[in-house]
Amino acid sequence: MNVLILGGTVFLGRALVRAALECGHTLTLFNRGRTNPGLFPDVEELYGERDGGLQALQGRRWDAVIDTCGYFPRVVGQSAELLANAVEHYTFISSISVYANTSQPGLDERAPVIKLADETVEEITGDSYGGLKALCEQAVEQAMPGRVLVIRPGLIVGPHDRSDRFTYWPWRVSQGGEVLAPGRAQRRVQFIDVRDLAEWIVHMMESAQTGVFNADGPAQPMPMSELLDTCKAVSGSDAHFIWVEDAFLLDHEVGAWMEMPLWIPESDPEAGGFFAISNARAMAAGLRFRALEDTVRATLDWLAERPAETAWRAGLQREREASLLRAWNERQSAGGR
């Protein structure tokens, strides 16, 4: 197939390029040329801007397009309308953040999505991101009715993840010693390896699948303890996990999700279903998951190549972690008071 990828040089985009090339597809990348230029020297690249700078796409045809970097419905609508007569199939990468209520486990693709009070807002915040993604989905479907595949991933992890929302754990556990582990050991977590996601998206594109699919993993519920134990086994560290209660973390103003990756306090009304999104439809359509050991090892291998001076975007600072552990241990010694 002749495939256009909007983006293609960052994280999921670069994984999609590799997966598509391995399947023998001919690719064209459209982006600004600012991030990882020349990453794929044998792949055609067109340069421009999503907002009003799509001229390089005019007069061309492809079998399919994968849109990895659409965030504002007005802008996404421009590419969808321009490509409506230039491609047969449009894959849009959305997010599970579109759902209006994640308080209950087992949420599937039929659940209501967020509706923004102001649909013209073009600023990405924690409050607007999910609603904007939902509007982007609608903009693509409006431009190309019946020819759109919408993928709603959960947390995407693995090599080249610049968010550090998963990377923190393989790295921190590999450092050994006492490791602050958040909440209950059996608390469920969800995430998907970027390589599994990319390979499945290419498969879905090849078969011209349409509709909406949650893309989250693993196949079976995973407790946080399994993730940490796997990180310890793969890295061979002497890590000792200190499980710290939600209430203590909240009392000490530990930030959920970013400061403490993969943690949302269970008292949060939205926590009940956030790590329990249904992936049944995607699995029925062929989504499969590699072993967690593979994901952890590949993440550590990539991290070893990342410049040491790279600033971490998520995770506890070591001094902050040590301070919290001291306070927790003192509280436990005093009988939990």
Q: Is the pTM of this model over 0.95?
A: yes
pLDDT at residue 240 in the model: 98
pLDDT digits (tens, 9 = 90+) for 45-69: 999 999 999 999 999 999 999 999 9
pLDDT at 326 over 90: yes
CA 280 to chain centre: 18
pLDDT digits (tens, 9 = 90+) for 159-170: 999 999 999 999
pLDDT at 140 over 70: yes
pLDDT at 310 over 90: yes
Burial profile 243-274: b = 16 or more Cβ within 10 angstroms, e = fewer: bbebebbeeeebebeebbbbbbbeeeeebbbb
List, in order of start, the domains of the chain with CATH numbers.
2-153 (3.40.50.720), 168-189+219-272+291-333 (3.90.25.10)
pLDDT at 121 over 60: yes
Amino acid at 104: Q
pLDDT at residue 81 in the model: 98
pLDDT interval class at 336 (50, 70, 90): low
List of E strands, the chain: 2-6, 26-31, 44-47, 64-67, 89-93, 148-153, 156-157, 178-182, 188-189, 192-193, 211-215, 222-223, 240-244
- Using DSSP bridges, classify how beta strands 178-182 and 240-244 pair: parallel, antiparallel or unpaired: parallel
pLDDT at 36 over 70: yes
pLDDT interval class at 87 (50, 70, 90): very high
pLDDT digits (tens, 9 = 90+) for 232-291: 999 999 999 999 999 999 999 999 999 999 999 999 998 889 999 999 999 999 999 999
pLDDT at residue 337 in the model: 57
Amino acid at 13: G
Rounded to the nearest integer, the mean pLDDT of the chain is: 97
pLDDT at residue 263 in the model: 98
CB contact at 8 A, 279 and 135: no
